[in-house]
A = this chain, B = another copy of it.
Amino acid sequence: MEPKTRFAVVGAGAVGGYYGAMLARAGNEMHFLSRRDADAMNRDGIEVISPNGDFTVTSVVAHSDWQSIPECDVVIVAVKSTANDDVFARIADIVKPDGVVLLIQNGIGAEIALAAALPESVEVVGGLAFIGSQKTGPTQISHFDYGALTLGVFATDYAPAPTGNRLNDLVEAFTAAGVVISISDSLLAARWQKLVWNIPFNTLSVILDATTAELISNDATYRLAEQMMAEVMAAAAADGCVLPSDLPAGMLTATKAMTPYSTSMKVDFNAGRPLEFEAIAGGALSRARSTNTPMPVLETIYQQLAFVDSRLHG
């Protein structure tokens, strides 16, 4: 990717702030949209606290409003999925006609709405972040664990899409910035695969107010997680994505070995923020319904989450 690549990051939180700061440190031109923290970021830059070494980038330009953001080669969208409607309506204004929009988000289905809001000439790339990080101040991101990103090109209806020059340039930029990238030739399969873990643990941690360690060490919730994983595997297969059959067992074993962990939905819940239950549970259910795949456990838990979420707004 040319050194003059210009990036925008919409959503300068735990995820967007981290990857944006990594790209800034590598010398890319970075624009951040942050209604609340633009002034502080223009004054202090962004500080990343990380086991890989702390650093601060001061070269970033922060904007409190869409209007002042110049047209960018790459727009990274890393807002919570609950903000998608508002954000997607504005992206076309800040991306070049031959640019790329990278959506780093949990859940499944959002790229369909994103692509519909953009000219066909813009490439949509889906990203899945495997990272433990948190925004710990207006200009501070604390990075705890991992940091890899899986990228896949989005084509109409999640059809398998060829890797083109624009994705390669993006991979090069991230790699040069020290971010480990995997490329998936099926974005849909990558999204389903992440849901195999996210669906049980995000949802149950909120409904039962529990850490991953509590859920995995109790027989009843271990079984429930297993059942939910089986439901996701079946829905994925019916959706054309046959995932490795030993994936659930491997994830359960890995979860047993994890330090007790608050899932992203639990972190949102604890902070009183809207839950990403539509993107995660609703997105999976909606694709499963279109293939007539029953997900009875998730159907129940989806409605419980709708209740919990509505109480957060109430």
Please, which residues of chain B bring their CB within 8 A of the CB of A303? 220-221, 223-224
CB contact list, A296-314 vs B, under 8 A: 296-297, 299-301, 303-304, 306-308, 310-311
Residue A207 is within 8 A (CB to CB) of chain B in the complex: yes
Please, which residues of chain B bring their CB within 8 A of the CB of A296? 296-297, 299-300
Question: Oligomeric state, in number of copies?
Answer: 2
CB contact list, A38-79 vs B, under 8 A: none
B307 touches A218 (CB 8 A): yes
A300 touches B224 (CB 8 A): yes
Chain A count of residues within 8 A CB distance of the other chain: 24
Residue A208 is within 8 A (CB to CB) of chain B in the complex: yes
* Interface SS majority for chain A: helix
Q: Tell me the complex Cα distance, A226–B178, Å.
A: 52
B218 touches A310 (CB 8 A): yes
Taking A208-B307, A214-B311, A223-B303 as given, write out 11 further A-B residue pairs in contact, using a Cβ cutoff of 8 Å, ordered by the A residue number: A204-B304, A207-B207, A208-B304, A215-B307, A220-B306, A220-B307, A221-B304, A221-B307, A224-B303, A296-B297, A300-B300
29 example contacts (A-B, Cβ-Cβ < 8 A) are as follows: A207-B207, A207-B208, A207-B304, A208-B304, A208-B307, A210-B307, A214-B307, A218-B306, A218-B307, A218-B310, A218-B311, A219-B306, A220-B303, A220-B304, A220-B306, A220-B307, A220-B310, A221-B303, A221-B304, A221-B307, A223-B303, A224-B300, A224-B307, A296-B296, A296-B297, A296-B299, A296-B300, A297-B300, A300-B301
